[in-house]
Amino acid sequence: MKLFSSVNDVTDINQLVADALALKQNPYAHQHLGKNRTLGLIFLNPSLRTRLSTQKAAMNLGMNVMVMNMDKEGWALELNDGVVMNGTTVEHIREAAGVMGQYVDILGVRSFPGLKDRELDYSEEIFNKFVKYCGIPVVSLESATRHPLQSLADLVTITELKTRPWPKVVLTWAPHVKPLPQAVPNSFAEWMCKAEVDFVIAHPPGYELCTDFTQGATITHNQQEALLDADFIYVKNWSAYEPYGKVTGGYEDWMLTNASLTETNNAKVMHCLPVRRDLELSAEILDGPSSVVVHEAGNRVWAAQAVLKKMLESLT
C-alpha cells in the first residue's frame, strides 16, 4: 500500500479489519518490519487521538517517529503555483513535501478544510500536493474531506462488538455551536457503504452530505425511525455541504439521551471524539453502559498499525 487516503485505497476492507484485530492480539510481532524505518507526522492542525495512536502504532512496529507541527514549529506554506512569494508564505509545498520525503519512509499528513471554498476543500489540494511531491507512501491523518484511520477504527469496533451479522448502523447528525468539517461523516459513510452492515444516515433538512460518499445508504430526516432496532449509533455533527460550511442553528432535539435508545437493539453509541457533552451527546449516554467511545478511540492504534504494516511491507 502506497497511499491511504480513503476506502478506495483498500482492496479488501474485511481483511484490513481482520489484520487490525490480529495486531490487537499480538502488537509487537512485526518489529522487524519497522527497524530503521521512520514515520513522519505532519500536523497543520491540532490532534490528540490521531497523533498519539499513530505514534503508538508505529512504535509497536519498531519504527522511529518524528512529529512536525508545521503550524507551530515551522512556517506558513505556499500552496499555489505561479505565485511570486513576496508575501507571508515562507516555503512552497513542493519543496517542503519533497524534503520531508528525504527524511522519512512514510509520511502522515493532517490538514483540515477551510470551510470557505467547497471546490478548493473537496479538491484535497493540500493533501494531494503532499502526496504528489513527497515521493513516498502517505497516510491521511484527516484531510479536508475524509478521516480514513478513524473510519477503519470504527469498522474495527463494530466488527468486534456486533452481536449479529449485518448489524444496523446509524450515522446521526448532532447539534454543535461551531461549523465542523464533513470529513468524519463522509469517511464513515463511504466505509459503511462498503461494509457488511445495514447503513442509515439521519440528519435534519439542509445537512445532506455530498452524495459521492453515501451511495447505497438509506437517508432520512426522521431520527427516531432511523434508530429503530439499531445496533450501532454513530453520533457526529457536521456543517452543511450546501450552502457550504454553514450552520443554521436549532435542531437541539437531535441530541441523543438515554430515552432515544429505548427502541434500539441495545445499541452501542459511538463518536470519534472530541465530543461536547450535553450539546452533541448527553452525559448520561457518555457515562453509561451504551457508550463505547473510549474503547473506539483505543482501536485507533490497531487501525493505524494495520495500515502502517501494509505500507512497510510494500517498502521491503
Please report, in range form, the residues annotated as the binding site for N(2)-succinyl-L-ornithine: 142, 176, 236, 276
Which CB atom, from 3 or from 273, has the smaller least distance to a copy of itself? 273
Query: In angstroms, what is the minimal distance from the CB of 198 to a copy of itself?
Result: 28
Q: Does 128 bind a copy of itself (CB under 8 A)?
A: no
Choose one: 49-57, 110-118, 238-246, 307-315; the region binding a copy of itself (CB under 8 A): 49-57
> Which residues carry a binding-site annotation for carbamoyl phosphate?
47-50, 75, 110, 147-150, 272-273, 300
Read off the C-alpha cell for 302.
490497531
Options 5, 53, 143, 157; binder of a copy of itself; rule CB under 8 A: 53
What is the residue type of 93?
I
Q: Does 259 bind a copy of itself (CB under 8 A)?
A: no
| Dihedrals phi, psi of 208, to nearest 5 degrees | -60, 135
Q: For residue 275, which of 264, 259, 289, 287 has the smallest C-alpha distance?
A: 287
Cβ-defined contacts of 84-91 (< 8 Å, 24+) = none
List of residues 6+ apart from 81 with CB closer than 8 A = none
Distance CA 41, CA 28 (A): 21
Options 2, 274, 313, 314; binder of a copy of itself; rule CB under 8 A: 274
Please count the residues of this chain forming the interface with a copy of itself, following the rule CB under 8 A. 64
Exposed / middle / buried, residue 156 (Cβ in 10 Å: 0-12, 13-18, 19+): buried
The pairing of strands 106-110 and 232-236 is: unpaired
Query: In angstroms, what is the minimal distance from the CB of 196 to a copy of itself?
Result: 26
Read off the C-alpha cell for 20.
487490525
The contact set with a copy of itself (CB under 8 A) reads 27-28, 36, 38, 40, 43, 46-49, 51-53, 55-56, 59-60, 64, 66, 68-70, 72-75, 78, 81-86, 89-92, 94-96, 98-104, 177, 273-279, 283, 286-287, 293-295, 297-298, 301
